[in-house]
Structure 1
């Protein structure tokens, strides 16, 4: 008789443990707590830091590229920025750079090249060698001094979470 009660008690405890463990972290709750990776390819509008720059805008394209020689896929960030002021209007700067970073982890910077349009060229460039997961990334267009390699403040910016 005692053995039967012990057996039933153990069975009841086992079933209770299975029930509690199976509902401890339902997949829906776990998915809400984790940061979602962005869908690639996606594009991101870069907005001016200074709201007085009404016409200044940019776009970043983020997608996987397969480079030669064949290796694992890398992430590419390409930036096009338009209607930016002359870099020298901000001080000792002569160019713009693309800049992307994951706070306190890693950053990437790459040259943006002006188009030959007179007055207000468009600026464009790309970086193909990103191997990090694209979570919590900030993408910017920043001022640059090509002679001193000094990176200046951000002119356009947005976070990867707005990438669509």
Structure 2
């Protein structure tokens, strides 16, 4: 894969889609690559994170802590561990390659560096996360209204 391919993959990934070309170029050069064989474990549930991952090729199965939940498969341009891009967290799932795959690890220190060097990227992430939070609050308010409507009325 060439630099332009890497930048295109990163530009299509959630969070990184907000970055300009120069910020994506820095991520492409500084991100750590890892090749995974089919069936190889990327990380295990409960482990402390060492960054987030962007799937560059192949596919990764994420197995939840809920035993009744089916695995979720992610592929090219997917971000695994968005919170782990910013801070260390416990991994909530196992991540295992479904086929030969390549991932790029983005550590919190790299993410911090990119956001310092490209403040417009930091502002875009802030705005995007604020919009997501607002959408979540609106959704929860709608659920609350429906639940209140279902409650038996006192006489």
Structures share a fold, TM > 0.5?
no
Larger Rg, first or second structure (1 or 2): 1
Give the helix-richer structure, 1 or 2: 2
Tell me: higher relative CO, structure 1 or 2? Use CA pairs within 8 A at least 6 residues apart: 2
Classify the TM-score, shorter chain.
under 0.3
Q: Could you tell me the TM-score, scaled by structure 1's length?
A: 0.24
Q: Could you tell me the TM-score, scaled by structure 2's length?
A: 0.25
